[in-house]
Structure 1
């Protein structure tokens, strides 16, 4: 429920000046206002002169860091930051996490959670479990909080964190293509907003009932103005303006190709795609003789399907590189949780593929006599 902003900021002030503070981030802006810096991060540091509160700010071009002493100096520095019209505050202490977001009406939407801890380690020391999203976060009461789901969410968020730059600021538009029940969509929004980013996220799914369900859930979480859903296909759903970050998690077979093609059409800065099923190239391999001695790779059905998985994702990554992206294929989650555990992670560089890379790609597809769906989609766009 919304709270008076002054009351919520008083709580934040106490946490910022508490010796138990571990980290705090302020970012974003309130409606119709603009802070003098785009981001501020606070954390305690141990110096020879004693413990200091380190305040790192950025104006969008240059960072500035200063260390203030406890007492009047820290009080004044914290009060000055709290007077800035930041739209979000994320504060972590040894025992608690507080997330404050200023609503359009000027009230505070506050989430409070206890820091998750594991059982005491041998020797009697407590150890804080390193989750990117607190397992006690109320979001898990809505999306499901089994241990397996929390591990999958954490693995996905780590891949997301590794994709985005640490100094990312400003508004971030995200689209999740083929979001389904959207539990990773909501987890992504939660994590990104806790980083102090001004996030707007759109989930796309072909089923109207999923759109209604997910929209209701966003309303219950208090995110209806930031997380929205539309019903439509990956290729044709109306998404405006174009996103900075595209997610496509477990879109089946050529739906992943459609998501990648649309990401390129948008010129998205970052893409995370976890492919699911690779029937298209597997079917093509069944009707073509394997080159040379490679018949042993495709003669057995199970081996042909697994080889098709590898070939499909290798060609997808190669096509992304040819179209101005740095692309990697990495492990998404441990294979004990799902056999579909690869993630294509791409970042736009704007550097078009070299002649050698184009020749390498063409040699591979010609040798196997296949036509990747992504190539067909991109050729249609270029045509």
Structure 2
């Protein structure tokens, strides 16, 4: 619903000062105007002196917390925040949720929904599930989502929330979804990040031109065409500028997942979420050669070999990413009753204690099973934490064109 900005902000003010307020976030910027704050978060807190309004503001350097008593102090602080040219407001109360986005024309696009659960008191455990993206969000109506798809979206967003830090960086957050398909998870990530107070700039990549046209039209329908764009191209070659902070690759088939991971490493992306699919490459290599002893029975039956190939492929991917400096978690992101392809590689750049050891573990695995993962062929030599190269299993190195020493690919 589009309304005048002044009227919509009056509604926001009433909710912010209401006893039913549970949480509110202001973030983003309006066209041709920048607020003095990167983000503001409001919530009620119970203190000895009674319930106060807690306001946490961040100007990009450090957060500042104030606890204000009801009445004039809280009202003055709220009015000051409403005067800032924030581009987005997200307000939750015990009975409803309001999302406000300021359009390029200076009007307010407002979405209201009733709360998806009711708190009946402390200790109450019989509550309906609270979703990270409102089940009444216009996205679900636009894509014709059923309950199962809503659950999958929520599971993905929870994995995304667990990957990102509590405080997101100031300024634009660049996101790419490689192999985005019909892009409903692309849009879900965008809507969630906006609600978190981020300024996401999202690029969806898919090889099909008809998907690009469809997704672009959907972005226009949802009012986010300026922040979410789509390009047609392959995962390896599609133009993506600037380099993204967050890389998504959800159910990219077989070695397409490896291509997405390789681009993420090349971009030095801060965060990566990849849900692999269809592990044919390593499975085919295992079929062509005898297994090392005593593991012959492990791959003697076709179904066991296929399942082991899935495990080995993703183990090698995770270990190789660690050798390149990523902390990697391998998790189940949705129950297997919804999809058998429910494994997720969740990676964060930095903080790997011993990259040399990760590389040695990787080499031991590929040498024992005599396989060459696709990801290995797409990545350069593995540097250690000091910037020196880590030799391969045979200790072989070769000079590059500039005379520097690099590791030869196995």
Task: Report if TM-score (shorter chain) is over 0.5.
Answer: yes
Gaps of 5+ in 2: 383-405
Displacement after TM superposition at 1:220 (Å): 1.0
Displacement after TM superposition at 1:173 (Å): 1.0
- Out of 93-102 and 148-157, give the one that drifted further: 93-102
In terms of fraction of residues, the more helix-rich structure is 1
Indicate whether 1:199 and 2:209 are aligned.
Answer: no
- Match of 2:392? none
Indicate whether 1:190 and 2:191 are aligned.
Answer: yes
1:38-73 CA deviation, whole Å, 9 max, x = no partner? 111000111111111110112222221111111111
- Match of 1:253? 254
TM-score normalized by the length of structure 1: 0.95
Q: Secondary structure at the match of 2:169?
A: coil
Displacement after TM superposition at 1:125 (Å): 9.4
Higher relative contact order (CA 8 A, sep 6+): 1
**1:346–1:124: structure 2 CA closer, same or farther, 3 Å change rule?**
closer
Contact kept, 8 Å, 2:324 with 2:355, in 1: the verdict is no
Contact kept, 8 Å, 1:28 with 1:198, in 2: the verdict is yes
- Match of 2:117? 117
- Match of 1:344? 345
2: CA distance, partners of 1:62 / 1:186: 30
- Match of 1:91? 91
**1:309–1:67: structure 2 CA closer, same or farther, 3 Å change rule?**
same
- Out of 69-78 and 93-102, give the one that drifted further: 93-102
Displacement after TM superposition at 1:274 (Å): 0.1
What are the within-5 Å matches in structure 2 for residues 298-317 of structure 1? 298-317=299-318
Q: RMSD over aligned Cα, in angstroms?
A: 2.2
Displacement after TM superposition at 1:328 (Å): 1.2
- Match of 1:149? 149
- Match of 2:103? 103
Q: Secondary structure at the match of 2:341?
A: coil
Contact kept, 8 Å, 1:118 with 1:129, in 2: the verdict is no
* Aligned residue pairs, count: 382
What are the within-5 Å matches in structure 2 for residues 1-383 of structure 1? 2-117=2-117, 127-170=127-170, 171-349=172-350, 354-379=355-380
TM-score normalized by the length of structure 2: 0.89
2: CA distance, partners of 1:267 / 1:32: 31
1: CA distance, partners of 2:225 / 2:150: 23
1:268-319 CA deviation, whole Å, 9 max, x = no partner? 1100000001000000000111111101111111000100000000000111
Gaps of 5+ in 1: none
